[in-house]
Amino acid sequence: MPRRHHQDPTDIRDWAGGGKNWFSDRHAYDIPSGDILRILHYPPVESHIDDIRAGSHTDYGSITLVFQHDIGGLEIYAGRSRWISAPVIPDCILVNLGDCLEFWTNGLLKSTLHRVVFRSNTQSLDRHSMVYFCEGYDIPLDPVPSRLVPGDEVKMGESGKRMTAAEHLRMRLDASLAYYPHHTLVQVVA
């Protein structure tokens, strides 16, 4: 799949002030990345007992592109224990902001807390989506140099050095697999 996030029409670099290539350098073609394309299938269910298909979480990378079929179920956390449905708009791509973008903007932009739920009117149907996770790999999580980004706090890793996107990804994956001690992470080799 082409890495189209290089051609963002909103051109985030203009308002962020980090320089012409600050964001695109973090997703360059000629460096290793952790980008992942996932084809997701949520089978139909016959019970109302467990209505959450994917629990609440944020995505680990910078942005996530979600291509949805006509059956919805994605919900975005709106605060105060309130979830709102993300509508499925034909021929549109839903864009979620991820953890790395929140780090790079030092919290100015927030990573999207979201989940996938059953809907009573569609729970007997298959739900399909295609999700492209834009992950930086060995890129530091330093804030973009900008007058709009508050402070200059740097995300630190366990070693006391600057954390990279790859370290953040590994940390989040390790935490999510902690409940399954018989699983191990596969080493990513560039």
- β-pair type (94-97, 63-68): antiparallel
Residue at 12 is within a domain: no
Residue at 37 is within a domain: yes
Tokens 């290793």, residue located? 32
Is 0.85 surpassed by the pTM of this model? Answer: no
Give per-residue burial for 80-105: e unless 16+ CB within 10 Å, then b: eeebeebebeeeeebebbbbbbbbbb
For residues 103 and 83, the answer to whether their CB atoms sit within 8 Å is no
Q: Which of 76, 14, 64 is nearest to 34 (CA)?
A: 64
Mean pLDDT of 46-71: 81
Alpha helices in 60-186 (DSSP H): 99-104, 165-177
Residue at 45 is within a domain: yes
Rounded percentage of the chain residues whose pLDDT exceeds 90: 17
Residue at 79 is within a domain: yes
| pLDDT tens for each residue of 12-22 | 555 555 666 77
- β-pair type (74-79, 36-42): unpaired
Residue at 53 is within a domain: yes
- More reliable by pLDDT, 25 or 185: 25
For residues 151 and 44, the answer to whether their CB atoms sit within 8 Å is no
8-state DSSP, 143: P
Residue at 124 is within a domain: yes
Is the pLDDT confidence value at 186 over 60?
Answer: no
Q: Which segment of 2-11, 40-49, 72-81, 165-174 scores lowest on mean pLDDT?
A: 2-11
Alpha-carbon dihedral angle through residues 21, 22, 26, 31, given to the nearest 10 degrees: 40
> How many domains does one find in the chain?
1
Residue 157 sits in a domain whose CATH number is 2.60.120.330
Residue at 22 is within a domain: no
Six-digit token pair at 78? 């709106």
Containing domain of residue 161, as a range?
A: 30-143+152-179
| pLDDT tens for each residue of 62-115 | 999 999 888 888 899 998 889 998 989 988 999 999 998 888 888 888 999 999
User: 161 burial class (0-12, 13-18, 19+ CB within 10 angstroms)?
Assistant: exposed
Residue at 159 is within a domain: yes
